[in-house]
Amino acid sequence: GIDIEAGGRVKSKARVSKSENPYTRLLCKLYKFLARRTDSKFNKVILKRLNMTRKSKPPLSLQKLAKLMAGKDGKIAVVVGPVTDDKRLFEVPKLSVCAMRFTETARASILKAGGECLTFDKLAMR
């Protein structure tokens, strides 16, 4: 058999966000509920990413986003982290993007191209 000490086996606990931000806290609660009550893997992934450290939620540029979303019309890009503008991208394609945060210029570029900027609570309502 296995020699288990008095403490028992060590179970790994899920990481919990230490963020003081009330918006992030509410999102964690919302997606924790959705992950538990729906059989959607997407909600579980979003919850996992919301609970990550700030270092693990790096910003994504519009250029990278446009490249990744090429040929995926009608889909919503979901970024758990900030979306930043890119001066090198002259023509921004029409994108539907959901992110934690948008820089002012990135938001303006997306809206100017006829796209939309969503927040996670708005995404959950869809």
Task: Decide if 103 contacts 83 (C-beta within 8 A).
Answer: yes
Give the tens place of pLDDT for each residue, 100-114. Answer: 999 999 999 999 999
Task: Decide if 97 contacts 76 (C-beta within 8 A).
Answer: yes
Mean pLDDT is lowest, of 4-8, 55-59, 79-83, 109-113, for 4-8
Tell me if the pTM is above 0.75: yes
Angle 43-41-97 from CA coordinates, rounded to 5°: 50
Whether the per-residue pLDDT at 13 is higher than 90: the answer is no
Q: How far apart are CA 98 and CA 115, in angstroms?
A: 11
Give the chain's domains with CATH numbers: 22-125 (3.100.10.10)
Task: Decide if 62 contacts 83 (C-beta within 8 A).
Answer: yes
Q: How far apart are CA 53 and CA 70, in angstroms?
A: 29
**DSSP three-state, residue 56:** helix
Give the tens place of pLDDT for each residue, 40-67. Answer: 999 999 999 999 999 999 999 999 999 9
